Amino acid sequence: MTTIKQEDLIQSVADALQYISYYHPVDYIEALADAYAAEESPAAKDAIAQILTNSRMCAEGHRPICQDTGIVVAFVRIGMDVRWDDATMSPTDMINEGVRRAYLDPDNTLRASIVDDPAGARRNTRDNTPAVVHFELVPGNTVDVRIAAKGGGSENKAEFVMLNPSDSIVDWVVRTLPAMGAGWCPPGMLGIGIGGSAEKAMLLAKEALMQPIDMAMLRKRGPANGLEQLRIDIFDAANALGIGAQGLGGLSTVLDVKILDYPTHAASKPVGMIPNCAATRHAHFTLDGSGAARLAPPDLTRWPDVRWAPAPTAKRVDLNRLTREEVAGWKPGDRLLLCGKLLTGRDAAHKRIADLFARGESLPPGVDFTNRIIYYVGPVDPVRDEVVGPAGPTTATRMDKFTDMMLARTGLLAMIGKAERGPVAIEAIRKHRAAYLMAVGGAAYLVSQAIKSSRIVAFADLGMEAIYEFDVRDMPVTVAVDATGSSVHRTGPREWQQRIGKIPVTVA
Ligand code: SF4
């Protein structure tokens, strides 16, 4: 019988969540470094360089890899011979207390992203609780915890299908992956769960993402069974799609494919697929009664010597004098360095603006989008002498339905976000001769270095979703949709799928 202290589980969870907020797993970094070395697409290589540079800065500065510090998911195995010493909380409450402690840590405050009443008021719980916890009671005398902070952008792209028993899983992935877009911030991993029931397949897919990346080793030694062969087949097929880093077109879309399976009904073949993003964050620890877990800092010499710098061809743009004519001159793929003032806003601010207009009211005092750019971002709160915490882009497609309204009614010239825009937004951009610029998802701390001042101008009650005014210097973005409606997220993957030449390109 082992005795575990409540405080040891709480502190171990808090420490693990702080650790993964700024340390990428080394296996992810090494696989990404290999992808960087092999990448031939200049746009994708630039994006990977930003992610690698950001990763090193976060590891050194102990600040979050991404502004989205995730929803906490834990898989906990409790040994049947464990007893709890003076426990006043349930294991779920202990884990939530650890989450609270980690996210409110004054030295590295993490962004609280969890809202309760998800179908209604969607109120932020302010401390990122509750976590999603899965328990298993197992033989033994330890408590084993695998814990992750899963980004919303990648979680939103989860897929489930009930295939016919004879259907090909590889074919389903090839059909499904392009439709998921790049909001999951590739290059990352695919977690795939096969079998069981509908909910079991999804749980297996999530649990599979807790495994380390070892595709290079698997390819070298060769598959030992059918599932390992399937991993390789899906890996090859996914990368042959040419989606590339950030959906810009390139050789590396996934760094590994992890699969877990379970027996299923003879009539069923349930398959869950959950991607993990550029902010892959998970840790594993075991409590054996000897105290709180200690996670050793990684050896930073295992990070590649990649230091991102702006391309020499990047054009500097003065945001304080921006005109519609200048915006109309930008071409897809142009690299820009933004200088001057821009406004921010994301889901809740757009909804509030739409509601104001629907009631015949105007924008709040101090909010003027005329000849401005809006940045879709929800930054981490600053600590110490920071102007703002990590502040990378959020998925732009969620703002697609508001784009025509914003461009038609506010005088807005352009938007910054991550990943592609959908047809409705692209048509609005073309109609208003506007533009959409993309910043690299998963490079939030690097991007935040360009922000020289920050102030809230409206909707302060929305917290990280408030409208801020940022003064930026040399903020790096790429033109993703130009004033004619041409999109790099359409042309890039098509070009690279053709170049890789394993899957025929069909023009939609
Ligand atoms: S890397 Fe992308 S998907 Fe992942 S947490 Fe950050 S913004 Fe979200």
Q: Among 58, 65, 157, 277, which is best to mutate for testing ligand 1, by the most ligand atoms less than 8 A from CB?
A: 277
Q: Is the pTM of the predicted complex or chain greater than 0.75?
A: yes
Instruction: Tell me whether strands 269-276 and 159-163 are parallel, antiparallel or unpaired.
Output: antiparallel
Please report, to the nearest 10 degrees, the dihedral formed by the alpha carbons of residues 169, 170, 176, 182 taken in order: 130
Closest Cα to atom 5 of ligand 1: 151
Integer angstrom CA distances of residue 418 from 411, 479, 489: 22, 11, 11
- What does DSSP assign to residue 17? H
Predicted confidence at residue 486, as pLDDT, reads: 97
What the chain holds in terms of domains, given with CATH numbers, is: 152-276 (no CATH), 315-492 (3.20.130.10)
- Gap from CA of 444 to ligand 1 centroid (Å): 9
Measured in Å, residue 67 CA sits from the centre of ligand 1 at 8
DSSP letters, 34-52, are HHHHH---HHHHHHHHHHH
The token pair at 275 is 């991607």
pLDDT at 506: 65
Give the position, in ligand 1's atom list, of the atom nearest the Cα of 184.
Answer: 3
pLDDT at 1: 86
**In contact, 282 and 148? CB cutoff 8 Å:** yes
Amino acid, single-letter form, for residue 336: L
Contacts of 171 (CB under 8 A, 6+ apart): none
Distance CA 387, CA 453 (A): 6
Nearest CA to ligand 1 atom 3: 153
Mutate to test the pocket of ligand 1, among 20, 72, 154, 157 (most ligand atoms within 8 A of CB): 154
> How far is the centre of ligand 1, averaged over its atoms, from the C-alpha of 385 (Å)?
25
For the chain, list residues with pLDDT below 50: 508
pLDDT at 502: 78
User: DSSP assignment of 392-429, as one string?
Assistant: PBPBGGGGHHHHHHHHHHS---EEEEBS---HHHHHHH
Residues sharing a CB contact under 8 Å with residue 479, sequence separation 6 or more, in sequence order: 330, 331, 332, 333, 334, 336, 435, 436, 437, 488
Q: What are the angstrom distances between the C-alpha of 199 and each of 24, 73, 114, 157?
A: 29, 16, 22, 16
Pocket of ligand 1 (CB under 6 A): 66, 68, 151-154, 184-185, 277-279, 392, 441-442
**Ligand 1 atom nearest to CA at 150:** 5
Output the pLDDT for position 504: 79
Pairing type for strands 254-264 and 315-318 reads: unpaired
pLDDT of residue 507: 52
pLDDT at 423: 97
**H helical segments located in 222-301:** 226-240
Structure tokens at 190: 């695919």
CA 253 to chain centre: 14
Q: Could you tell me which of 25, 47, 35, 49 has the C-alpha nearest to residue 418?
A: 47
